[in-house]
Amino acid sequence: MNKPVLPTNELKYFEAVNRITTSKSEDELKVAIEDAVVVMKDYFNSQPLENLKESAIAMNQNPGDKEIRSKFQENFESFLYATAIEDGRYMSFNAHKDDYYYAKKLRKKIIEENKITSQTEMIIVDMAVISYFRYLRISSVQVQLVSQIATLTGKDLQPKVNLLKQYDRQIEASYRQFISSVTFLKEIRQPKLNVKIQSKETFVARNQQFNKNS
């Protein structure tokens, strides 16, 4: 079945999500998420759910109409795209098939424990979960490779050593992405601090604690 041709605002939405998943630094990640939030507002204001409801009612009233059924299918797929982040389907595209069940379970647990409801935070959770399982999977392969290298000599050794270096880079990248995602998630969930200062000379140190009733 062919995918529906998405309107411009929906294409921008998925492009924004792709930029988030391919960010290579914390600064790129922050900019990508900020841009995605703006695009999300435009996209979700298009009310894909309402379109789906309308086409579902029309199909129930005219079950034999092929054009109406086709429109329902188009709206249904558009709705699936719109709710992919909330349902974790974007994460499933990037998780290894053997890790998907555990990744989805971990994702659900994190969202429930932190009472996460916003799309932005769910995106960051997805990135953390994906990078975590990627780290574990590559590390497992690396351990097996190290065992093989221990038995090799001569010309058979160097290709494996080169491959080991590649795994090291992938492991480091996964680790950095995981730490960046978790750190950023904590930062955006921290409540804003409003401080009223009544002094001509006041010095506020970094990470200084303010007691509410002091």
- Asked, for residue 199, whether it belongs to a domain, the answer is no
Provide the pLDDT confidence category of residue 1 given band limits of 50, 70 and 90: very low
Would you say 205 and 159 are in contact if contact means Cβ atoms under 8 Å apart? no
The pLDDT score that the predictor gives to residue 5 is 45
Nearest Cα neighbor of 127 from 161, 82, 178 is 178
The answer to whether residue 82 sits within a structural domain is: no
Query: Has residue 152 been placed in a domain?
Result: yes
Q: What is the mean pLDDT of residues 135-156?
A: 83
Judge whether 184 lies within some domain. Answer: yes
Is the pLDDT higher at 108 or at 58?
A: 108
Number of domains in the chain: 1
The verdict on residue 110 lying in a domain is yes
Q: Note if the pTM is more than 0.85.
A: no
According to DSSP, residue 88 is labeled: T
Q: Which band of pLDDT confidence, cut at 50, 70 and 90, is reported for residue 31?
A: confident
Residue 80 maps to a domain: no
- Please provide the average confidence, as pLDDT, over all residues in the chain: 75
What is the predicted pLDDT for the residue at 4?
43
What pLDDT band is residue 136 in, cutting at 50, 70 and 90?
very high
For the record, the structure tokens of 111 come out as 């969202």
Tell whether 178 is covered by a domain.
yes
Domain that holds residue 162: 90-190
Q: What is the mean pLDDT of residues 70-79?
A: 78
Mean pLDDT over residues 65-86, rounded? 77
* Domain membership flag for residue 136: yes
